[in-house]
Amino acid sequence: MPGAVLVAVAAILLWHTFDPSYSSRLSTLKFGPVFFPRVILTVWLLLSLPLIFVVPRALRRSVLEHRKVWPGVFFVFALAIYLWLLPGLGYLLATFLFGAVVQLIAGDRKPLRFVFWSAVLTVMSWVCFELGLEIILPAGKWL
Amino acid sequence: MEYLSQAGGLILDWQVLVTILAGTAIGLVVGALPGLGSVVAVTVVLPFTFSMDTVPSIALLVAVYCSSVFGGSFTAVLLNTPGTPQSAATVLDGYAMTRAGKGDLALGWVAGGSLVGGLVSTVVLVLLAPQLAAVALRFGPIETFGLICLALTCISGVSGKNILLGWIGGSIGLMLGSVGVDPLSGQTRFTFGSFAVSSGIEIVPVLVGLFAISEVIYRLNESEASRAAANIVPGFKLAPMKEWLLRWKTLVSGSVIGSAVGALPGTGAATAAFISYAAAKRFGRFRNDIGKGEPEGIVASETANNAVTGGALVPTLALGIPGDPVTAVMMTALIIQGIQPGTRLFVDTPELVYATFLLLILANLAMFLSAGVFSRVFSRIVSFPQPIQLSIIVVLSVVGSYGVRGNVFDLWVMMMAGAVGYLCRIASIPIAPIVIGMVLGPFLEQNLRQGLILTRGSFWAFFSSPIAAVLIGGAAVIILTSVLFLVRDWVKGKPSVVDTQVASFLSRQEQSDGKRR
């Protein structure tokens, strides 16, 4: 399966390089914008072909199902929600909430502690980046 | 000697010494924050130089430059979060040492390696600046393409027995590096109509995702591994001299590679670190353990990426050509001070050139001494309880990835890279080749296409350049050798790539289950 996915992705991207929008009349001629990607995609495709026949055997012996995966899944889900909310809520509020959720997922069951640390981390990182280094973080729609 | 004594007089001033200490502290902190690095560090202090005298302003820039390269390795070693590509090779062995409870020693190797690299490159700068500058001028697109090809061979080195998977990862990295605006024609590629993607995929979010976010997911899913990680000795410890002497070849080769690569405009510390790492993996005394927490891997990477600082000043001072964005900012500061870098600099103001050399030495010494203090502060972080530690990593990763371009799209890239990195980790697929491909891809493409335009489309004409022929030939030999070894193992009936992968996965799982029981 991974081999097939890799081959499919490479094939689709390689096919995409023949899109008419890439045809160029510039002086670089045949060494246009998709020349290098075509070379790389061809290499990627050829290297992935053997995996179609070999990897399924490995996957049959996989022990993934025994692995505890839910905390990681929750974390990625929380991160996605955080990124979705970040432009609207702003860095301070969104990061404070997200920091607390991460600690909760990581097994911290003391609300005072994770709220405190989340607040400290958020404020410190904001002060360091926004005030110290003048890197503008998302302000949100409320500020 | 006369100029050297004059230069000594210029730098022996309390203002200069205080400036070096302040610059070192700023560089270490900014360099350690993911996503920032040398360019931001030097740019942050640039306005301060406007109101300073010439020598203190050079001292500030040099100290910030050296220590910011070094600072990036702190988070790489302690948190598996290489904030900049130049620390990506350090993380491979550095973090493995931290996980093994040798974080203090790993930081000692980082500091010592950086000091040696920095000092050797300064000596190279003092003795060979004009000669190196002349050699650097002989490196056109064709020769640089050869050099990048040689650097790419480290994919075989970091992939272990998973060479096939490593090269697939490398191809994916090279492809990711080509997304966005084509540097030669200005046309956008693989954006699929998305405006956010048109500016390309930034390396830092990918790096942070693959290493730091995947580490968070991994630790959340692996409670036993997490407890092991909490058993970390905070602080800074230098290995005995005997251990250093055992790795002297890598110390020397890393320093030479870093100085030479640094002198070539447009290459950079990440390329040097990977070339040096590949050399150590192939020829090092402990080559079989590199990648599993062997100090030689740290030494290879750190000597090279710090030696670049001296090397990069060669074309800047001797030719007036800034090799990278950092030296471009530094050159701006020098011009504002009324100093015009270039061939006349060595003739008109030799005492200033020698003062710069001496300041480099002082900056490297200050960096080494500060390492002891900063290591203790940084290593406290890994002594925090697991939930706090993970939230620190996540917040730093988010801010660092966002700070590069101020684009939320980069954070989505970071998240996806994190998920991919985690899947690669549990399947024993090496992730370093993806990073190597992404770092070197844009250089490789640009120089290949420029070379082909120069040779009117004839790739074979690349071999008419002796330097390029040697470099490309060397790269081909290394790749062929690794493939032959793989085939030999397969013929002899040793475990195949995939079987090895599954076997290591199963054995890890059994160990983990055993601990649980």
| Structure tokens belonging to residue A78 | 């929380």
Sign of CA dihedral B293, B294, B299, B304: negative
Helices (H), B189-294: 203-208, 214-221, 223-230, 241-246, 248-263, 269-283
Interface-testing mutation among A13, A25, A29, A31, with chain B (most B C-beta atoms within 10 A): A31
DSSP B329: H
Distance CA B63, CA B68 (A): 8
- pLDDT (0 to 100) of residue B188: 86
Contact in structure between B240 and B218 (CB atoms under 8 Å): no
| Structure tokens belonging to residue B258 | 């870093």
Q: How many CB atoms lie within 10 A of CB B198?
A: 14
Our measurement of the distance from residue B435's CA atom to the centroid of its chain's CA atoms, rounded to an integer in Å, reads 11
Instruction: State the average pLDDT for chain B.
Output: 80
DSSP B123: H
Highest mean pLDDT among A22-26, A93-97, B450-454: A93-97
Contact in structure between B147 and B136 (CB atoms under 8 Å): no
Mean pLDDT over B497-504 rounds to: 44
Report residue A119's pLDDT band, with 50, 70 and 90 as the boundaries: very high
% of chain B with per-residue pLDDT over 70: 88
Q: How far is B240 from chain A (nearest CA, A)?
A: 37
**CA-CA distances (angstroms) from residue B60 to B27, B45, B353, B374, B453?**
10, 8, 15, 19, 42
Q: Tokens 């996806």 — which residue?
A: B416
- pLDDT (0 to 100) of residue A28: 54
B402 with A137: Cβ contact below 8 A: yes
Angle at B310 between CA B309 and CA B315, to 5 degrees: 100
Distance CA B448, CA A31 (A): 9
Distance CA B274, CA B272 (A): 5
Mean pLDDT over B473-502 rounds to: 68
SS3 call for B189 = strand
A72 with B178: Cβ contact below 8 A: no
Q: What is the pLDDT of residues B128-174, one digit of tens each?
A: 776 766 777 777 888 888 888 887 887 877 776 778 888 888 899 99
Number of H helices, E strands in chain A: 5, 0
Phi and psi at B313, nearest 5°, equal: -80, -15
- pLDDT (0 to 100) of residue B508: 47
Q: How far is A52 from chain B (nearest CA, A)?
A: 12
Mean pLDDT over B200-206 rounds to: 86
A62 touches chain B (CB under 8 A): yes
DSSP A136: P
B468 touches chain A (CB under 8 A): no
Report residue B400's pLDDT band, with 50, 70 and 90 as the boundaries: confident
Buried b (16+ CB within 10 A) or exposed e, A74-85: ebbebbeebbeb
B403 with A50: Cβ contact below 8 A: no
Q: What is the pLDDT of residues B224-278, one digit of tens each?
A: 544 544 455 667 788 888 888 888 889 999 998 888 888 776 667 788 888 888 8
Of B221, B408, B505, the CB nearest to A69: B221
**pLDDT at B332 > cutoff 80:** no
